[in-house]
Structure 1
Amino acid sequence: MKLNYRIVIFALAIVFGIVFSAPSLFQMQEGKKVTLGLDLQGGLHMLLGVKTQEAVKSRIKSIAASIKHYSEREDILIDELAFDEGAVTFTVLDSDELPKIQGFLKEIDGSVVSVDAEQVSLSLTPEEIVKTQKEAISQAIETIRNRLDQFGLTEPVVARQGDEKILVQLAGIKTQEEEQRARELISRAAKLELMAVDEDRAARVYNMSDADAAEYGDVILSDVKNPEIKYLVREIPILDGGMLTDASMGFDQNNRPLINFKLNAEGAEIFGDFTGKSVGKRLAVVLDGKVYSAPNINERIGGGAGQISGNYTVMEAKDLAIALRSGSLLAPIYLMEKRSVGPSLGADSIKASLVALIGGFVLV
């Protein structure tokens, strides 16, 4: 009786061991498997760099947009609002409004404000510049990790290496198509901006240079579908993707993929205020520097929701929604090193484990 009891326990242990180890040993689709790293199943190894100075410029641009919205909301007349990589400058037309605008600017962390008569200049402190650059790297790591998690990869490695480099290891990337899709998802800035079309000069866009447009505080952007189509838009956006709370793939009335997005409370307020006073004008939906659409504003748009239409495939729309939902990169990233790692070590290790398992079973 005692011997039979031990045999039953031994047999059950063997059965359970085979059932639970088979998916990992034979890399079956069904069942839970032990996660194999890059060295065991092969994949993609990348070293990325971050253009941190672009994060500083983006911060300055965002401050300029905040100043524009505040002055319009409070009916403060300002002129010559402009920015470069180091500062935002503008003129307050009514000197009595200076204390009010200065009070708003003092609330901006890490800023230095100087006033000369009615001319106002705002720049970032050296400490704030360093902080912004460091945050750009940390945010890039978190954003890339979020995108890859939603992409469906199992436990991707995304870690800082040195001061301004990011190590990315993606186990299980086997085909060229998978590699290309992962690289595009990682590197895409996914920078959404809603920008006003300069209706006063829009007809002259094809006769203007970038320098000409800059004199009016504008930029020239191309259409995403047809690069020959140009738009003249205000350089300072109405709002950007930092106010985005959600993005998902949907379909239009013709069953073509599009992106639905939602804004936070601040973004919804700015969006509503702008569309309310811009009826009859156009609003450009810009993604990564390309105009996806520039619809006419027929009425005030409340609720803080919008759509991005384009010539997408379903897969492209899904990946774009992931990128937007995960957040835009504060600074562009670039590829410094890339290599594909073969699964030869993994195959040898799995084969050795299988031999050890069978050998142990025979000996027992």
Structure 2
Amino acid sequence: MEAKENCKSSAAYPMNSGDGPYSYAKTSTFQKTVIHFTKELVQKEVVEKLDIGFSSTASPPTIFSIADLGCSVGPNTFSAVESIIEAVELKLQSQGLTSKIPEFQVLFNDHASNDFNMLFKSLPSNRRYYAAGVPGSFYGRLFPEASLHFIHSSFALHWLSRVPKAVTDKSSPAWNKGRVYYSNSRDEVIEAYKAQYQKDMEDFLQARAKEVVCGGFMVFIIMGIANGIHPSEAGGIVSEETVDSFNIPIYMTTPHEFETAVKRNGCFSVERMEVLPHEKVNGVANNDHQIITYPMRSALTGLIKQEIGEEIVDELFDLYLKKVEEVYLSSILDSGKSLSFLVVLKRKASH
């Protein structure tokens, strides 16, 4: 049965919950700014191209289902969802179908270890949708066939389903000795990460192709690197040479690599792919080093606690802050080598 695919094994490292200084809710300012910046771009695509019964000769669905994949604990997921609902309403209004605005159902997805209690406690009181949580890895099936009209995911697809096995195998040429990430590593390590990313994206797109209705949309905001940039040029995340067994399951794709994965899958058309300009989406001072290090701590603390231990966290990120102050990471952003990009996909007719 298809439901068995929901049991797909995947590593889970949730973002920091709560409302402390290192929580995702307090450190995701950059993500919030990008989501806000892309609002008009996404609405334009929806109004012009979303066509699942949105015409004077067809009836729109009475229930419009939206899924946010990798929702974390808020509040950014709520902003994204509200923007999508506004876009759908604008689409209907543009077609003279205001009386046919559907009820909205929003399905918040993340790993089972995500703090769904905090997520639902902070749901907007004035929300215009019915909310439900769907735990599980988005690299497998999560929803019934042809049940979703819109999928959103921001700053989640750089997480791999697992650390590539070869980089932790001492007998493998891809063993990532002395490093925790693939940037500045040997080509064998980089290729192992790339192969894991390709496999994960194949699984992701196959699952979504079954879940999204024909004509439905998927919108992603993806952290990546520019086309033609070697991973060693884009900077690393953490450096701890004494921890040979620790590797970060993150892969920074290029727009070209992502588009190649979509074309290989064949079930979606690329309606829009646009690199987002740093100067318009940062919204924060690049030279504020805590704005760089706090989000990293929010994202990686769970992974570090699980793989190394809680006692190293404070010392590690104190050292990381000092390193950031030396390197001045905004120079990497300003170089145009690292980037965020928006992707809008549309489900093709059954295929």
Q: TM-score, normalised by structure 2?
A: 0.23
**Structure showing the higher strand proportion among its residues:** 1
Please identify the structure whose Cα radius of gyration is greater.
Answer: 1
